[in-house]
Amino acid sequence: MSSRALLEVRGVSKSFPGVRALERVDLHLDEGEILAVIGENGAGKSTLMRILAGIESRDDGVVAIDGEVVAPESPREAAGLGIALIHQELNLADNLDAGANVFLGREPRRFGLVDRGAIRAGARSVLERVGADFSPDAPVADLSVGRRQQVEIAKALSCDARILIMDEPTSSLSRAESERLFTLVRALRGRGVGVVYITHRLGEVTELADRVVVLRDGRNAGELRGDEIGHDAMVRLMVGRDLTVSDTRSAAGPGSVRLKVEALATEHSPQSPLSFEVRSGEVVGIAGLIGAGRTEVLETLFGLRPRLSGVVSVDGVALDTRGPRQAIDAGLALVPEDRKRDGLFAEMSVRENVTITGLTALSRAGLLDRRGERRLARDLVERIRVRTTDIEQPVATLSGGNQQKTVLLRWLAVRPRVLLLDDPTRGVDVATRHEIYSMIEELARSGAAVLFASSDLEEVLRLSDRILVMHEGDLAGVLGRAEASEEAVMRLATGARGGAVG
């Protein structure tokens, strides 16, 4: 261990009712180092970072900065110590504009008054650095999830922190924006900033990290540096065994057209109507840069946003999209992108969260069958290993990835005819991701049409039979499995035309 690490964590432990989230965890970070912290969902990564950022208290252990023991008790104190944290979940005040959010809590002042000019200028430059294509005056309420994430990143970058902790910063960024972020992070490293980087996209780790610390069940599971950093090595440390991934797509060709979209005009890009179809048994991915309009398409199909014109039909029957209720009756299901806002009943139990869509099927003579409900919940939770103490645990106390799984389970349980997924594996660890893929594939095999958006290009390539690439609200092209490659997708996503549209 270097003599005087920038940040040193020794023997930190933390328990919650029923779980030991961290047990004597050690960690150190040097100046000008990018340290990746990885681990399965619920391994304790976010908890540790929240402790460092003064949000959570610790039960035991020492944190030192420059060799000096510190104990930040509030985000404010942590900021004073030079620690900045990009949270795993979005935390913005959406009644303010992007600039105000970037400088929230650290507003430059003149004569005691907020210096709006300085905020606008400062925010503009930092937003540009992260590659944001919107102005600092844009109200956050009008930004897509990916752009909000950029605001969060800009906010942390603008602190000039010495220790920058990034908890899954790219979970809703696409490849292009992520690259841009990496350049920034490397530049920060050059300036001596210590960066802690958490992600489930192991490719990013190989690309970026100087060193990797792996957590498993709240304990240090090992460390990799330099050449040791490789996909399989990381998985072995995280899971404790080798992961055998079966990449066997069923050869059974797609069936009849299930979802047909003709000249669909959406709220924010009415001038570029979309047409495409998804067949029964087919998995279609939507790729694009952030703000390309993927979420908008899915939410419009699901009746959450107004459909300005166009026809959507399911199995040849025109879909009434006054609201999600009608969409669901027609056999649609949507796993939303922003789980915290649109998916979770945070204070309710895992059981109540996963069974909410299947309750009507579980009731007899109008009364709930509680035993049946418990059985269903237990089954589901075991299917993709949601890490909970028991099914009565409030979902708010699950780790980010496990929360994502509960939202997914809710819909996988009801076997819809058309499954719409918006970034379905956002924040889900590698092992579970593959289980989810096989569930999706199995659903497709049993006749469902699957349409999913993802910011993870690897995922899109891995899962899709066909890929719709969107660019600024437009359908820039469609790629079949054979023609699909990272380059092909990126070319379309950044505006070059090509491929067979339809």
Partner 1 sequence: MNKTLGILGLLVLACVATALINPQFVSAYNLQNVIRWTSLFGILSIGVAFVIITGGIDLSIGSVVGLVGCLLPLLMVEHGFSPAAAIGAVLGLSVAIGLFHGLLITKLGLQPFVVTLCGLLFYRGYARFVTGDQTQGFGTGFETLRGLATGKPTTVATSIAVLAAGALLLEVLRGRREQEGPRRGPLLAAGAVFLAALATGVFDPGGLAQVRAPAPFLIMIVIALAAGLFLNATVGGRYLYAIGRNLTAARYSGIDTDRIVIGAYVACSALAGLGGVLFALDVNSVQPAMHGNFYELYAIAAAVLGGCSLRGGEGTVTGVVIGAAVMRVLYNSINLLEIPTQLEFSIIGAVILLGVAADELVRRTVARRRRGGS
Give the interface with partner 1 as residue ranges (CB under 8 A).
15-18, 53, 55, 74-76, 79, 85, 87, 91-96, 100-101, 104-107, 109-110, 112-114, 116-117, 155, 267-268, 270, 304, 306, 308, 323-325, 327-328, 333-334, 336, 341-348, 352, 356-357, 359-360, 363, 366-368, 370-371, 410
Between CA 253 and CA 381 the distance in angstroms is 31
Considering the complex, state which of residue 287 and residue 443 has its C-beta at the smaller distance from ligand ATP.
287
Which residue has 């681990």 as its token pair? 39
Helix (H) or strand (E) holding 359: helix 359-362
CB of 290 to ligand ATP, least distance (A): 3
Phi, psi of 352 (to 5 degrees): -65, -35
CB of 310 to partner 1, least distance (A): 15
Considering the complex, state which of residue 141 and residue 368 has its C-beta at the smaller distance from ligand ATP.
141
Stretch 393-432: interaction string toward Mg ion, x if CB under 5 A: ------xx--------------------------------
Helix (H) or strand (E) holding 65: strand 60-65
CB of 54 to partner 1, least distance (A): 9
Return the one option of Mg ion, ligand ATP, partner 1, none that residue 42 interacts with (CB less than 5 to 8 A, by type).
ligand ATP
Phi, psi of 300 (to 5 degrees): -70, -40
Beta bridge partners of 276: 261
Choose which of 60, 68, 137, 142 interacts with ligand ATP (CB under 6 A): 142
Helix (H) or strand (E) holding 275: strand 274-279
CA atoms within 13 A on the CB side of 293: 24
Between CA 15 and CA 18 the distance in angstroms is 8
End-to-end CA distance of the chain: 58
Choose which of 116, 268, 481, 497 interacts with ligand ATP (CB under 6 A): 268
> Is there a contact between 290 and 337 (Cβ–Cβ < 8 Å)?
no
Choose which of 199, 295, 353, 432 interacts with Mg ion (CB under 5 A): 295
Q: Name the token pair of 404.
A: 């994502």
Stretch that binds ligand ATP, among 142-150, 205-213, 483-491, 492-500 (CB under 6 A): 142-150
Q: Name the token pair of 345.
A: 């009943």
Choose which of 9, 29, 39, 238 interacts with ligand ATP (CB under 6 A): 39
Choose which of 58, 201, 258, 294 interacts with ligand ATP (CB under 6 A): 294
Beta bridge partners of 110: 113
CB of 58 to ligand ATP, least distance (A): 12
Considering the complex, state which of residue 178 and residue 406 has its C-beta at the smaller distance from partner 1.
406
Is residue 190 classed exposed, middle or buried when 0-12, 13-18 and 19+ CB atoms within 10 A define those classes? exposed
Q: Name the token pair of 306.
A: 């107004």
H helices within 302-419, ranges in order? Answer: 324-329, 350-355, 359-362, 370-383, 400-412
> Is there a contact between 36 and 200 (Cβ–Cβ < 8 Å)?
no
Considering the complex, state which of residue 157 and residue 289 has its C-beta at the smaller distance from ligand ATP.
289
Considering the complex, state which of residue 293 and residue 358 has its C-beta at the smaller distance from Mg ion.
293
Does residue 291 interact with ligand ATP by CB under 6 A? yes
Choose which of 131, 401, 416, 424 interacts with ligand ATP (CB under 6 A): 401
- C-beta neighbour count of 8 within 10 angstroms: 21
Does residue 398 interact with ligand ATP by CB under 6 A? yes
Which residue has 């299930």 as its token pair? 258
Considering the complex, state which of residue 281 and residue 303 has its C-beta at the smaller distance from Mg ion.
303
> What per-residue string of b and e applies to 214-224 under the rule 16 or more CB within 10 Å gives b?
bbbbbbbbeeb
Stretch 65-104: interaction string toward ligand ATP, x if CB under 6 A: -----------------------x----------------
Give contact residues for ligand ATP (rule: CB under 6 A).
16-17, 19, 21, 39, 41-47, 88, 142-147, 172, 268, 288, 290-296, 337, 387, 397-402, 427, 455
